[in-house]
Amino acid sequence: MSATIAVLSQKGGTGKTTMVRSLADVFGRLGVDVLAVDADPQGNLSDYFDTDPNAHPTLGEVLMGQVRAADAVHGRVIPANLQLSEAELSLSGKIGREVTLRNALMDLKRNRELILIDCPPTLGLLTVNALVASTHAILSTEAQYFSLQGMEQAVQVLDLAHDSLNPQLELLGVCLNIANMRTRHARQTLEALRERFGDKLFRTVIRQSIAYAESAERAVPILEYRPDRGSDYLSLASEILRRLGKQELLEPLDTLSAEVVPAGASGAYSRA
Ligand SMILES: Nc1ncnc2c1ncn2[C@@H]1O[C@H](COP(=O)(O)OP(=O)(O)OP(=O)(O)O)[C@@H](O)[C@H]1O
Ligand SMILES: [Mg+2]
């Protein structure tokens, strides 16, 4: 499929890392050759993949030009740790600072079908690098404390990356995440997003569930830990495949859903 998707948001804690981990799992189960890239010095994605905390080298070394990206792949992830903050700092004074990740991933892109990049909570240099290295971006947003103004900041950074350095970049979609659709606030947020983003808003809403924190704690993907909850990500994956024009994977996805989700247990919320 050869796509690189950055998952970003205007603020912290909107479920980006969980989205990257869950989608990497779903697409991996479909036989897609997926690589996840942890572009956040917090290293949450690396932990969720159960990567050895001492794994070496990491994305920090890659961005500092010390190793090739291929040498930093551990299983299905290029991990990160606090050293990535140092790399970001040292990058900030350099020419070509925004294109470093793109250049580093160039070789890998040739033989990977899908790369998913988990962005940090800020719209700084690491997020810009992720956007410049990507063909697509997904904006994740939470209903709680929702602000359209905040969303606009993320859109501005996306537009900037598109206009100045990466004309290929496309907003794949906007996803309402960690949502409790029983609350009026969540429903109003969804409506505001629909008005602003129209068809770019994914119909799938990722429902709020404590199962995600538990699955992260156990370093086990949601489909394995609570398949009924993971069904939200199966539904999101299906929309992503359609938007990427990968219809041939929809049937295997249906088969996977039938296998892993107990009949009638999903109850996924989707805008009619
Ligand atoms: N659908 C969900 N329902 C409830 N909790 C969730 C859901 N998705 C993620 N979480 C939890 O919310 C918290 C934040 O999620 P996550 O780490 O994925 O967000 P993030 O946007 O990557 O955060 P950061 O900006 O700090 O990197 C975590 O504790 C996670 O387990
Ligand atoms: Mg995160």
Q: Is 40 exposed, middle or buried (0-12, 13-18, 19+ CB in 10 A)?
A: buried
| Res 265 pLDDT > 90 | no
Q: What is the distance between the alpha carbons of residues 149 and 215, in angstroms, rounded to a whole number?
A: 32
Instruction: Tell me, in angstroms, the distance from the centre of ligand 1 to residue 248's CA.
Output: 31
For the chain, the straight-line distance linking the first and the last C-alpha, in angstroms and rounded, comes to 28
Predicted pLDDT at 272:
37
Other Cβ atoms within 10 Å of 260 Cβ, number: 16
Angle between helices 148-164 and 125-132 (to 10 degrees): 60
- Bridge partners (DSSP) listed for residue 78: 37
Q: Each residue of 143-168: pLDDT tens digit?
A: 888 888 889 999 999 999 999 999 99
pLDDT confidence bin for 1, thresholds 50/70/90:
low
- With a pLDDT cut of 90, the percent of the chain lying above it is 89
Mutate to test the pocket of ligand 1, among 14, 18, 180, 225 (most ligand atoms within 8 A of CB): 18
Please name the residues in contact with 271: beta carbons below 8 A apart, sequence gap of 6 or more.
190, 194, 203, 205
User: For residue 119, which atom of ligand 1 is closest to its CA?
Assistant: 27
| Res 269 pLDDT > 90 | no
In terms of pTM, does the model score above 0.75?
yes
Q: What is the distance between the alpha carbons of residues 122 and 79, in angstroms, rounded to a whole number?
A: 18
* Contact 121 CB / ligand 1 (< 6 Å): yes
Query: What integer best gives the mean pLDDT of the chain?
Result: 94
Nearest to 170 by CA among 250, 220, 245: 245
Instruction: Tell me, in angstroms, the distance from the centre of ligand 1 to residue 8's CA.
Output: 12
